[in-house]
Amino acid sequence: MLKIVTIVGARPQFVKAAVLSRVVGKHKDVEEILVHTGQHYDHNMSDVFFEEMEIPKPAYNLDVNGMGHGAMTGQMLEKIEGVLEREKPDWVLVYGDTNSTIAGALAAKKMHIKVAHVEAGLRSFNMEMPEEVNRILTDRISDILFVPTDTAVRNLMNEGYANIDAKIVQSGDVMQDASHFYAQHSESKAKLPIEKRSGDFVLCTLHRAENTDNPKRLAAIVAALNELHKTIRVLVPIHPRTRKLLESNNLQLNVDLVDPVGYFDMIELLKHCKIVLTDSGGLQKEAYFFQKHCVTMRDETEWVELVEHGYNVLAGADTALILSSTQEMMSKSSDFSNPLYGDSKAGEKILEALQNFEK
């Protein structure tokens, strides 16, 4: 019996982990124990969330949240260690780049338990981002690195991983698996009124601290969105924190604002929008999964292959550049059949590699 402890700490990680959980459910000789650190408290993660998303409920909820990076990571280490002592797994599996990711990897490594990192090899090359620190350190102490793209492989090779005792497996992207799975159910489960997700509109998200915490950048983005909304509807599911920062900076966002939406609603918006404007990492990829061009309001991206192939463009927080890039991308025609993120079988490849791993 192969035993895996999966560490997650935020709603997007549950969606990613569900890809592997569905595969594990088909194998009687594999057991998965799901651990929620509690890093991001989310009132939407009710019983309904797990039922609708077909996600197994966590066996452990460590309830670690609402504190600084050091205190949070330290408490997670302590509590994850207790779980690992009880469960004695063959593998600890971590996703992405959160504090939960590095805490799970560290706890396992110090207990001589093998570590698998899904979404390995991603780099923004911005060490001021806590996520960049987390992903680099997690990669370095992992036994197997599941990378989503050719770019991720190159990043690891450039960092000397040809001479590091870690196995690199190009599995493809678990979020592509998830997007294609949930797209089959999104129309019947979406809650947003149909008029919000129909007609020509731009889907925009704005939440990253480098934009919202910088009054100059925030003002420039607001100016671009307001101007764009004069010619095409701009729909923004707005985070409460972003809303508060707009108010404190006396900025008026004159677009179609809605409360934050669930995953099924976001898929429906992606299906029907004209183009995506975002400062999110994941939404850049999801735009591609649903064959939509994207304008990214950041100065760098982890998903450079989208930029290299012309599906995405970096516009930073420059009002004129956001507007011109949006106009250019809305009139652009692209072939989205390029398999940049694998063949939607990442879950199967991950489990097969764990089962057949030899150090």
Residue written as token pair 């899904």: 118
| Rg of the chain, C-alpha, whole Å | 20
Catalytic residue, candidates 185, 207, 272, 309: 207
Residue written as token pair 């925009």: 204
Identify whether the C-beta of residue 11 lies closer than 8 Å to the C-beta of residue 42: yes
Q: How far apart are CA 47 and CA 52, in angstroms?
A: 9
Q: Is 254 helix (H, G, I), strand (E, B) or coil?
A: coil
Residue written as token pair 């779980």: 83
**∠ Cα 41 11 284 (to 5°):** 125
Q: Which two tokens stand for residue 189?
A: 């489960």
Residue written as token pair 């956001």: 322
Q: Count Cβ atoms within 10 A of the Cβ of residue 195 and give its class: 0-12 exposed, 13-18 middle, 19 or more buried.
A: exposed
Residue written as token pair 């994850």: 80
Q: Is 8 helix (H, G, I), strand (E, B) or coil?
A: strand
Q: Is 117 a catalytic residue?
A: no
Residues annotated as catalytic are 207
